[in-house]
Amino acid sequence: MKLVFVTGGVLSSLGKGITSASIGLLLKSRGLRVSIIKIDPYLNYDAGTMNPYQHGEVFVTDDGGETDLDIGHYERFLNEDLSKRNNLTAGQVYLEVIERERQGKYLGATVQVVPHLTDLIKERIREVAREYDVTVVEIGGTVGDIESLPFLEAARQMGLEESSFYLHVSYVPFVKSIGEIKTKPTQHSVQKLREIGIQPDALIARGEKPLTPEARKKLALFSSLPLRAVVGAHDLENVYRVPFLLAEQNLDDLIFEKLGLGIYTDRSLEAWENFVERVENSVGEVSVGIVGKYIEVRDAYKSLIEAVIHAGAHLKVKPKVELIDAIRLEREGTRNLKDYDALIIAGGFGERGIEGKISAISFARKNSVPILGICLGMQLMTVEWARNVLKLKDAHSEEFQPNTPHPVIHLLPDQKNIDRLGATMRLGGQEVSLREGLTRKLYGKEIIRERHRHRYEFNNAYRDSFEKSGLQIVGETRGLVEVIEWAEHPFYVGVQFHPEYTSRPLNPGPLFVGLLKAALDRK
């Protein structure tokens, strides 16, 4: 079993997720079977009930896992589907240890962090790792955080039991007032890691500026590492170029050597290089507005933004993606929406900003602006049509107006009387049957598989009224409406699923390609 443990130092949000994903891509490009695990030390069972302002988007796996957004990075870089097993939280392991104790599985022993909790952490890592040549394990948080200690101890123990490589990602700040890179914070971070019992095999120095030779020497000296094991990783405008930055410094060679991975094979990154070149060098521009309510945090729409970038690269055009505040639309109106070539109505929960999203949908419908509604966005397209085309006064979703006279969106029977929020929605990948229409043309097949995360659905009692008025239902799953289209519009598509979760750099989501193409045709 071969493992690469990625830890973080000094501060969070350094880009350990992108680093881990890039390492996975490099190792896969050399012919290895690679998977990645994200460990989150928080006590939540999963990310499903977490506020986007605190933690960014919730990424949904095909098997219905509500996971950390880093799983999305992993899938996009590896171009593979991962599962809920690839996201391990403190909440999961503590709960399972307690359940095992209640079942008497510890035979009366005093249950402790070591060995019982750490043994379970190792067990969960091995469940994934045994199926692959190499597994990258990213430990969230920062060395020194009290909640990370059991996971770091498990990582230390696994270094004694399995072939392991320890990579520490730490912040190396550039102090503008003196024009100098400072290594002291990272020196202390490495010292803290050693106190835990882990000597890093390589160090990634994250910072605003490229690492100077002097700083590299100092970091190598105080980390007890050869110079080649200190890897500079300065800020890049395009995160998809990070694998090349690491490859230039031969980080993957270091991993091959330490893990005894055998004969070197050349990297095969031509397709990735072509994608990156199209992202950076495409000519022309198309402006895309994402209407949401978490606009202060771009990570709340991370997969959505990346899906637009993938589509732009495919069409060799640069998408300019801007987040539009739905609450602001309620106050100021939609006059500024004329500046966008296409609109995406994002998903979400809660009543805040709903009328702003509906006003954006109305603007796009009346002014022939290409529009894609996703999950809640599709539901609000239904509400807007019911109010303004079918003239159903006060039509709404039961989620926001339980007593609406026209519940065109309603709660499914199996979602009623649920007494807990976590993992109770319609989640994960399901097959969708497509009828003739634009969506089927874009996908090029009758049956597709896309991921879901919602509780409310289109109310089939209003189905005939919608179709007679021109809004066609062209996608279904077991009688549930999945896709709506209006053929008289340049691009007017609403989908109940989340196509952004399955969009990949080398295989962009068809709906996003279609949206951008319609926007370009309209310019």
Report pLDDT digits (tens) over 428-473. 999 999 999 999 999 999 999 999 999 999 999 999 999 999 999 9
**Spatial contact of 377 and 347, defined as CB atoms under 8 Å apart:** yes
- Indicate if 93 and 186 belong to the same structural domain: yes
Extract the tokens encoding 236. 């890049």
- Indicate if 227 and 359 belong to the same structural domain: no
Q: Whole domain around residue 158: which residue ranges?
A: 2-255
Report pLDDT digits (tens) over 123-166. 999 999 999 999 999 999 999 999 999 999 999 999 999 999 99
Instruction: Classify residue 127: in a domain, yes or no.
Output: yes
Last residue of a domain, one of 255, 273, 295: 255
Report pLDDT digits (tens) over 365-374. 999 999 999 9
Lowest mean pLDDT among 16-20, 118-122, 292-296, 377-381: 292-296
Instruction: Classify residue 56: in a domain, yes or no.
Output: yes
Q: Determine phi and psi for 143, rounding to 5 degrees.
A: -55, 130
Instruction: Classify residue 260: in a domain, yes or no.
Output: no
Q: Which spans in 206-295 are helix H? A: 213-223, 242-248, 251-259, 270-281
Neighbours of 300 (CB within 10 A): 25
- Indicate if 201 and 292 belong to the same structural domain: no
Instruction: Classify residue 276: in a domain, yes or no.
Output: no
- Count the residues in the chain: 523
Closest to 486 measured CA to CA, from 369, 397, 359, 346: 369
Q: Using pLDDT thresholds of 50, 70 and 90, give the confidence band for residue 252.
A: very high
Q: Determine phi and psi for 138, rounding to 5 degrees.
A: -95, 125
Average pLDDT for the chain: 95
Distance CA(456)–CA(376), nearest Å, equals: 9
- Indicate if 20 and 75 belong to the same structural domain: yes
- Indicate if 320 and 369 belong to the same structural domain: yes
Last residue of a domain, one of 255, 270, 298: 255
500 is catalytic: yes
- Indicate if 378 and 415 belong to the same structural domain: yes
Q: What is the tally of structural domains in the chain?
A: 2
**Spatial contact of 347 and 328, defined as CB atoms under 8 Å apart:** no
**Spatial contact of 486 and 470, defined as CB atoms under 8 Å apart:** yes
Distance CA(411)–CA(425), nearest Å, equals: 11
Instruction: Classify residue 162: in a domain, yes or no.
Output: yes
Residues 6+ apart with CB under 8 A from 363: 334, 337, 369
- Indicate if 220 and 307 belong to the same structural domain: no
Q: Which residue in 116, 314, 454, 498 is the catalytic one?
A: 498
Helix (H, G, I), strand (E, B) or coil at 350: coil
- Indicate if 187 and 307 belong to the same structural domain: no
- Indicate if 390 and 329 belong to the same structural domain: yes
Q: Which residue in 66, 375, 406, 452 is the catalytic one?
A: 375
The CATH number for 27's domain is: 3.40.50.300
- Indicate if 71 and 217 belong to the same structural domain: yes
Residues 6+ apart with CB under 8 A from 333: 359
Instruction: Classify residue 275: in a domain, yes or no.
Output: no
498 is catalytic: yes
The CATH number for 301's domain is: 3.40.50.880
Last residue of a domain, one of 192, 220, 255: 255
- Indicate if 337 and 193 belong to the same structural domain: no
Tracing tokens 């637009």 back to the chain, one arrives at: 308
351 is catalytic: no
pLDDT of residue 421: 62
Q: Which residues pair with 175 in a beta bridge?
A: 180
Instruction: Classify residue 315: in a domain, yes or no.
Output: yes
Taking 80 as the threshold, does the pLDDT of residue 523 lie above it? no
Taking 70 as the threshold, does the pLDDT of residue 419 lie above it? no
pLDDT of residue 381: 98
DSSP 8-state code for residue 147: G
- Indicate if 241 and 385 belong to the same structural domain: no
Instruction: Classify residue 267: in a domain, yes or no.
Output: no
